[in-house]
């Protein structure tokens, strides 16, 4: 586990069982702070369960790996999947025993619904935009408009989503769409939700899903510890993903990590050097991704396309 600057320290393992709740936010107790957006979600030690929360992720199962226990603790939560989890190249589908992309996508949806039911999220609170997996970057402007409408209709107080960190192009596309959507909402006089990012990125081999942030942008992080009961719940959720068994078997069931986003400039790369996803042949290069993002910004914000579209201070 990385201990980035400002990241809150975990309790020693021997103390974890003493926490009375299934999950517990860990706060820096060395100084007092005014009530922040963090406090709105995480309260002053316990979760604020009554917040209206939308968890918007690129792929079915992302929300379970990155925020499954958080979701299980909230009473008013909607999950939105941007893609259907089925890439066009059929490699994953065939490995899971499917000959049709649509059948693989349907299986992924059904197993995700089963997992979310364990976290008390009913089927009618799960929305699928059904963009083809690995293709979200190619429809950034349309995705932004769809998510803007969703945010207007859902009236969420809090949105939990991916950071812009170069981990997966669909994750970055989802982050783009949400940040641009909040800007559109503000431009049109609507109050946007408070954004949180969850730690989640593919491992170097692209097999495991790692519930952590990539190094490079260390900021204050709120960590939800998982005690035995929480780990058991998450294990049961993982077990629903039959098609993702190979991936989730090697994915750590660790603490869930959240932080508030920066005001990203999506026309610039999120990190210095080679991006995490540029290791994979199917992924776009950083230049290709930035070109798509710049074009979408020009479409969405025709007179100010070079500005940042972050949630904070824009
Ligand atoms: Zn994903």
Ligand 1 centre distance from Cα of residue 60 (Å): 7
Ligand 1 centre distance from Cα of residue 170 (Å): 7
Ligand 1 centre distance from Cα of residue 59 (Å): 5
Provide the pLDDT for residue 77.
95
Q: What is the rounded (10 degree) CA torsion for 221, 222, 225, 231?
A: -80
Containing H/E element for 254? none
Contact call for residues 252 and 210 (beta carbons, < 8 A): yes
Determine the Cα angle at 234 with ends 57 and 173, to 5°: 10
Nearest to 251 by CA among 59, 11, 91, 117: 59
State CA 182 to chain mean position distance.
16
- Long-range contact set of residues 32-40: C-beta below 8 Å, sequence gap at least 24: 37/194, 37/196, 37/260, 38/220, 38/222, 38/260, 40/157, 40/158, 40/194
Instruction: Enter the DSSP assignment of 13.
Output: G
Ligand 1 centre distance from Cα of residue 68 (Å): 14
Provide the pLDDT for residue 206.
82
How many alpha carbons fall within 13 Å on the CB side of residue 171? 27
Ligand 1 centre distance from Cα of residue 31 (Å): 35
φ/ψ of 222, rounded to 5, equals -100, 130
Per-residue pLDDT of the chain (314 residues; tens, 9 = 90+): 333 333 322 233 333 333 333 344 444 444 455 555 566 666 555 566 678 999 999 999 999 999 999 999 998 999 999 999 999 999 999 999 999 999 999 999 999 999 999 999 999 999 999 999 999 999 999 999 999 999 999 999 999 999 999 999 999 999 999 999 999 999 999 999 999 999 999 998 888 999 999 987 678 888 999 999 999 999 999 999 999 999 999 999 989 999 999 899 999 999 889 999 999 888 999 999 999 999 999 999 997 545 555 444 33
Name every residue whose Cβ is closer than 8 Å to that of residue 158 and which is 6 or more positions away in sequence.
40, 41, 51, 52, 53, 54, 193, 194, 195, 196
Contact call for residues 131 and 84 (beta carbons, < 8 A): yes
Ligand 1 centre distance from Cα of residue 194 (Å): 21
Residue 196: strand pairing partners: 160
Ligand 1 centre distance from Cα of residue 284 (Å): 16
Ligand 1 centre distance from Cα of residue 85 (Å): 8
The 10 Å CB-count burial string (b at 16+, else e) for 3-18 is ebeebeeeeeeeebee
Ligand 1 centre distance from Cα of residue 30 (Å): 35
Ligand 1 centre distance from Cα of residue 171 (Å): 6
CATH 3.40.50.10320 corresponds to the domain 43-270+278-300: yes
Ligand 1 centre distance from Cα of residue 168 (Å): 7
Could you tell me if residue 130 is left (phi over 0), alpha (psi between -120 and 50 degrees) or otherwise beta? left
Ligand 1 centre distance from Cα of residue 263 (Å): 22
Ligand 1 centre distance from Cα of residue 26 (Å): 26
């Amino acid at each position: 586990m990385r201990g980035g600057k400002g990241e809150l320290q975990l309790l020693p393992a021997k103390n974890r069982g003493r926490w009375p709740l299934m999950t517990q936010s860990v706060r820096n107790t060395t100084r007092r702070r005014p009530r922040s957006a963090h406090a709105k979600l995480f309260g002053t030690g316990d979760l604020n369960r009554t917040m209206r929360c939308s968890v918007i992720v690129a792929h079915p199962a992302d929300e379970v790996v990155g925020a499954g226990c958080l979701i299980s603790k909230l009473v008013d939560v909607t999950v939105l999947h941007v893609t259907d989890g089925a890439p066009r190249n059929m490699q994953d589908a065939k490995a899971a025993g499917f000959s049709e992309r649509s059948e693989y996508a349907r299986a992924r949806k059904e197993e995700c619904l089963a997992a979310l039911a364990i976290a008390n999220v009913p089927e009618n609170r799960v929305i699928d935009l059904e963009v083809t997996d690995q293709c979200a970057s190619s429809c950034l402007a349309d995705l932004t408009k769809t998510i803007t409408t969703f945010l207007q209709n859902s009236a969420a107080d809090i949105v939990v989503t991916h950071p812009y960190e170069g981990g997966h192009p669909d994750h970055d596309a989802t982050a783009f769409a949400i940040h641009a959507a909040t800007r559109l909402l503000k431009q049109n006089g609507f109050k946007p939700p408070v954004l949180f990012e969850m730690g989640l990125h593919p491992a170097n081999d692209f097999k495991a899903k790692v519930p952590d942030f990539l190094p490079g942008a260390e900021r204050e992080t709120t960590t939800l510890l998982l005690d035995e009961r929480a780990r058991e719940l998450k294990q049961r959720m993982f077990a629903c993903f039959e098609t993702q068994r190979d991936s989730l078997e090697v994915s750590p069931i660790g603490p869930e990590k959240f932080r508030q986003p920066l005001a990203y400039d999506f026309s610039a790369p999120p990190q210095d050097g080679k991006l995490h996803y540029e290791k994979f042949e199917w992924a776009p290069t950083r230049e290709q991704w930035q070109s798509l993002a710049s074009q979408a910004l020009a479409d969405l914000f025709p007179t100010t396309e070079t500005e940042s579209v972050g949630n904070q201070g824009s």
